[in-house]
Amino acid sequence: VSPHPRVDNQGPVVEVSGFRIGGDHLALMAGPCSVESEEQIFEMAARLATAGASFLRGGAYKPRTSPYAFQGHGSEALTWMRRAADAHGLRVVTEALSESDAGNVAWHADLVQIGSRNMQNYALLKAVGRTGKPVLLKRAMSATIEEWLLAGEYLLVHGASGVVFCERGIRGFDTETRNLLDLGAVALLSHVHHVPVIVDPSHATGRRDLIAPLARAALAAGAAGLMIETHDDPGKALSDGPQALRSEELAHLVGTFRGMRA
């Protein structure tokens, strides 16, 4: 018996509000690290739809390492994202950070994200699973493949309609990049376990100049899609500016993807 029977039987495609992640079309998820204002997210959604994105991402609740950093606009930001996405034919992917918020996030989002710091927060996995929504499960900073698959198993056991995995870089020892992108894990999940995987090169590298080559590499390794931070004035971003692309840079990048997926 497999130690992760539900994940292994899930199959290579997870459907999210009509979009088949793992199917023929690349799942492009883009948007700002933090939702900073209603106006910002509406303008962003328009540009991202034009650039080829299918999902609007953005942080409503921001789990910052320091309690003294900006913590997000919370529930209000969820409604802004929902309306902005609906106005431009996008789906919403955003993070649930608390058991008590899980229902509210699930109500507004098409795909509920579990962040890397909560990958083994079992209370949250159960609460999000019980909403019945599909989930984007980010890998913890030093999770083994087995631990990651088992966290997906928790979600499916408790009711999630599907699990999409997201590799966002693991803890490395080199300070030239923020984290260490593990595309071997992407190839393994995609080609051996046959589950859909999204890659987040923005968090993985923390630097704009490496996003394009690593985005292409992720697709070549088997990724079903990409999550890319965008901001139209990266110098003024409230968080993670140095790794954000402008939406026109994103559009240009998407134009280089042809033929990358196997």
Alpha carbon distance 120, 262 (integer Å): 32
- b/e per residue 55-73 (b: at least 16 CB within 10 A): bbbbbbbbeeeeeeeeebb
In the region spanning residues 160 to 189, those forming contacts with a copy of itself, defined by CB under 8 A, are 170-177, 180-185, 187-188
> Restricting to residues 69-108, which ones interact with a copy of itself according to CB under 8 A?
97-101
Q: C-beta of 32: minimal distance to a copy of itself in Å?
A: 20
Min dist CB 210 to a copy of itself, Å, is 5
Asked if 185 contacts 137 with a C-beta cutoff of 8 angstroms, the reply is: no
Q: Determine how β-strand 14-16 pairs with β-strand 91-95.
A: unpaired
The answer to whether residue 252 forms part of the interface with a copy of itself (CB under 8 A) is no
Binding mask 202-241 for a copy of itself (x = CB under 8 A): --xx---xx-xxx-xxxxxxx-------------------
Number of residues that bind a copy of itself (CB under 8 A): 70
**What gap in Å lies between CA 23 and CA 182, rounded to an integer?**
22
The closest of 230, 226, 231, 195 to 213, measured between CA atoms, is: 226
What are the residues binding a copy of itself (CB under 8 A)?
Answer: 3, 63, 65-68, 97-101, 117-124, 140-147, 150, 153-154, 157-158, 170-177, 180-185, 187-188, 190-192, 204-205, 209-210, 212-214, 216-222, 256, 258-260, 262
